[in-house]
């Protein structure tokens, strides 16, 4: 596992690792879109990449889309929002991912929704459960905030499924650490924002429970960049 002092150091080294050690893979799908044979989506990938940032500071993360992150954080704190408000801050990314609500009967005019949102999966009261449990059992090893659901087993390749698996909090010696588990992470389009939101949540929970902010640990099964974005990364 790589250890970094801060995010500037981490981001520079992650890019270097991906450029030098990444292998080329041509995926069949990206989200719910077929990209087999599309050279734009030829993927340079690092598998099972894990690193730690000892002093995680949200303001030091390069490339954050500030308006979207702040709106998404509000959506997650409210909980159970779909589509929520954040997507309107990045319509070029999210608009095409809206889908008609498949749960409504034929002949109606269902609203556009996403296959899932993080606000639905882990927002609102779910974060509060972590805070409450930390106050009762400060040394618990069970502080897991899941995102991936069993429903995703039937959606793979057909509908969007979460890139994030979940978040594990652990408090030791007065410091609260967070391990962020992802099955897949696009370094160019989503990495800065996903990590920023995770670090914001770490600081939020630490403040409400009275602990110092400890290290941020990040595991990514597929850490990648698409050919169409390579020129903007390396």
Tell me the average pLDDT across 75-85: 97
pLDDT tens digits for range 87-100: 999 999 999 999 87
Question: For residue 189, what is the domain's CATH number?
Answer: 3.30.572.10
* Domain membership flag for residue 43: yes
Q: What is the pLDDT of residue 144?
A: 98
Q: Which residue has the higher pLDDT, 111 or 70?
A: 70
The number of beta carbons lying within 10 Å of the beta carbon of residue 177 is: 20
Q: What is the pLDDT of residue 101?
A: 60
* Domain membership flag for residue 84: no
Cα-Cα-Cα-Cα torsion 19, 217, 10, 41, nearest 10 degrees, comes to: 30
Residue 7 has pLDDT above 80, yes or no: yes
Percent of the chain whose predicted confidence (pLDDT) is above 90 = 87
pLDDT tens digits for range 191-207: 999 999 999 999 999 99
Q: How far apart are CA 218 and CA 52, in angstroms?
A: 6
Q: Specify which residues 226 forms β-bridges with.
A: 43
Percent of the chain whose predicted confidence (pLDDT) is above 70 = 95
Q: How far apart are CA 85 and CA 206, in angstroms?
A: 26
* Domain membership flag for residue 178: yes
Chain mean pLDDT for the chain? 94
pLDDT tens digits for range 47-64: 999 999 999 999 999 999
* Domain membership flag for residue 72: no
pLDDT tens digits for range 204-230: 999 999 999 999 999 999 999 999 999
Q: What is the pLDDT of residue 108?
A: 52
Phi first, then psi, for residue 148 (nearest 5°) are -65, 140
Q: How far apart are CA 185 and CA 220, in angstroms?
A: 7
Count of structural domains within the chain: 1
Reduce the DSSP state of residue 36 to 3 states and report it: coil
* Domain membership flag for residue 55: yes
Q: Are 81 and 127 in contact (CB under 8 A)?
A: no
* Domain membership flag for residue 14: yes
The number of beta carbons lying within 10 Å of the beta carbon of residue 19 is: 13
* Domain membership flag for residue 81: no
- What range defines the domain where residue 141 resides? 2-65+122-233
Alpha helical stretches, state H, 108-219? 118-122, 125-136, 191-209
* Domain membership flag for residue 46: yes
Identify whether 185 is a catalytic site residue. Answer: no
Q: How far apart are CA 180 and CA 161, in angstroms?
A: 17
Task: Please tell me which residue in 53, 163, 176, 201 is annotated as part of the active site.
Answer: 163
Could you tell me which of 196, 181, 191 has the C-alpha nearest to residue 148? 181
102, with CB counted inside 10 A (0-12, 13-18, 19+), is: exposed
Longest Cα separation, the chain: 59
Q: How far apart are CA 105 and CA 117, in angstroms?
A: 22
Q: What is the pLDDT of residue 110?
A: 54
pLDDT tens digits for range 101-125: 655 455 555 569 999 999 999 999 9
- Backbone CA torsion sign across 22, 23, 29, 34: positive
Q: Tokens at residue 214, please? A: 């400890």
């Amino acid at each position: 596992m790589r250890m970094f002092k801060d995010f500037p150091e981490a981001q520079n080294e992650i890019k270097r690792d991906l450029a030098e050690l990444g292998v080329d893979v041509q995926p069949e799908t990206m989200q719910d879109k077929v990209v087999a044979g599309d050279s734009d989506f030829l993927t340079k990938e690092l598998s099972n990449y894990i690193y730690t940032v000892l002093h995680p500071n949200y303001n030091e993360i390069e490339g954050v889309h500030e308006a979207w992150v702040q709106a998404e954080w509000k959506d997650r704190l409210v909980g159970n929002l779909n589509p929520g408000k954040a997507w309107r801050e990045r319509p070029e990314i999210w608009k095409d991912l809206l889908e008609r609500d498949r749960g409504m009967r034929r002949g109606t005019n269902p609203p556009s929704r996403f296959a899932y949102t993080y606000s639905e999966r882990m927002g609102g009261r779910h974060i509060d459960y972590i805070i409450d449990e930390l106050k009762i059992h400060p040394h618990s090893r069970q502080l897991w905030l899941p995102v991936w659901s069993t429903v995703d087993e039937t959606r793979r390749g057909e509908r969007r499924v979460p890139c994030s698996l979940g978040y594990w909090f652990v408090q030791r010696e007065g410091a609260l650490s967070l391990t962020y588990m992802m099955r897949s992470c696009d370094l160019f389009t989503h990495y800065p924002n996903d990590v920023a939101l995770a670090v914001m949540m770490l600081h939020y929970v630490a403040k409400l429970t009275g602990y110092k902010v400890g290290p941020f640990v990040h595991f990514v099964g597929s850490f990648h960049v698409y050919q169409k974005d390579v020129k903007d990364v390396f």
